[in-house]
Amino acid sequence: MRVLVVEDFEVLATTIGTGLRREGMAVDVVLDGDDALAHLAGTRYDVVVLDRDVPGTHGDDVCRDIAAGGGAGPRVLMLTAAGTVRDRVEGLGLGADDYLPKPFDFTELVARVRALGRRSAPAVPPILQAEDLALNPSRRVAFRGGRRLELTPKEFALLECLLASGDRVVSTEELLERVWDEAADPFTTAVKTTVRRLRIKLGEPPVIETVREGGYRIAGPR
């Protein structure tokens, strides 16, 4: 899941970004509305965590711009210190999909971001499966042959992305975009290294196929 955090209080913005990355999300952080619009123009995000009162382009206008793009755009979770019922109604009226007043509990923020991420993505089964491999995105657990897999957040996110893609080949560039974030070096070996570790944990027979000059996909039925 790719998330954009728009928050002008840098300490809070960094904290949110770090926490969401630990949950396996790819997160970009910006501190004003102008930068937010620039990122939205060049990157496909699943969820935008948007502080309503940011410098530059106001958060309300950022939200309107996203809503004007229609249902194909990212979902918006609006954050603000103004937490009255009227404020929430106004925020939702601007096109926000959810509204969370400050201060907030981080576990609630994570749960809401995940829920919005599921709404932004094409419908997928609650359990992603391939042969004896099963992954539950909402519970953040994966099993193979009944054995629970101990996966890092990045390994889990990569496997989830491949399983959700069915038999489609997923390029290294797409995996970098969906699982990592803008800080990732396009020439990095992070994808290859993570796939190698994941293959070891998945065991035999191999589950992830490498498609020459294409990327990776989940192996079909044997």
Contact in structure between 217 and 162 (CB atoms under 8 Å): yes
CA-based torsion, 25, 61, 36, 72: positive or negative: positive
More confident residue, 85 or 180: 180
What mean pLDDT do residues 96-102 have? 88
> Domain locations in the chain?
2-120, 128-218
More confident residue, 6 or 180: 6
What pLDDT, on the 0 to 100 scale, is given for residue 125? 63
- List, as one string, the DSSP characters of 136-173: ETTTTEEEETTEEP---HHHHHHHHHHHHTTT--B-HH
All residues at 6 or more sequence positions from 36 whose CB lies less than 8 Å from its CB, including other chains: 4, 6, 30, 48, 50, 54, 57, 62
What mean pLDDT do residues 77-106 have? 79
What pLDDT, on the 0 to 100 scale, is given for residue 43? 86
Q: Which fold has domain 2-120?
A: Rossmann fold (3.40.50)
CB-CB neighbours of 117 under 10 Å:
20
What pLDDT, on the 0 to 100 scale, is given for residue 162? 92
Contact in structure between 46 and 3 (CB atoms under 8 Å): yes
pLDDT at 87 exceeding the cut of 90: no
Helical packing angle, 106-120 and 10-22, nearest 10°: 70
The per-residue pLDDT for range 42-80, each reduced to its tens digit, is 888 999 999 988 999 999 999 999 988 766 789 999 988
Residues of the chain by 3-state class (helix, strand, coil), percent to 5: 40, 20, 40
Contact in structure between 46 and 121 (CB atoms under 8 Å): yes
How many CA atoms are closer than 13 Å to the CA of 40, on its beta-carbon side?
27
DSSP state of 65: H
Q: Which fold has domain 128-218?
A: Arc Repressor Mutant, subunit A (1.10.10)
What pLDDT, on the 0 to 100 scale, is given for residue 38? 94
206: tokens are: 């191999």
Contact in structure between 78 and 91 (CB atoms under 8 Å): yes
pLDDT at 90 exceeding the cut of 80: no
What is the percent of the chain where pLDDT is above 70? Answer: 89
Residue type, 37: L
pLDDT at 83 exceeding the cut of 60: no
The per-residue pLDDT for range 121-173, each reduced to its tens digit, is 655 567 888 889 999 987 889 999 989 999 998 899 899 999 988 888 988 88
What is the percent of the chain where pLDDT is above 90? Answer: 42
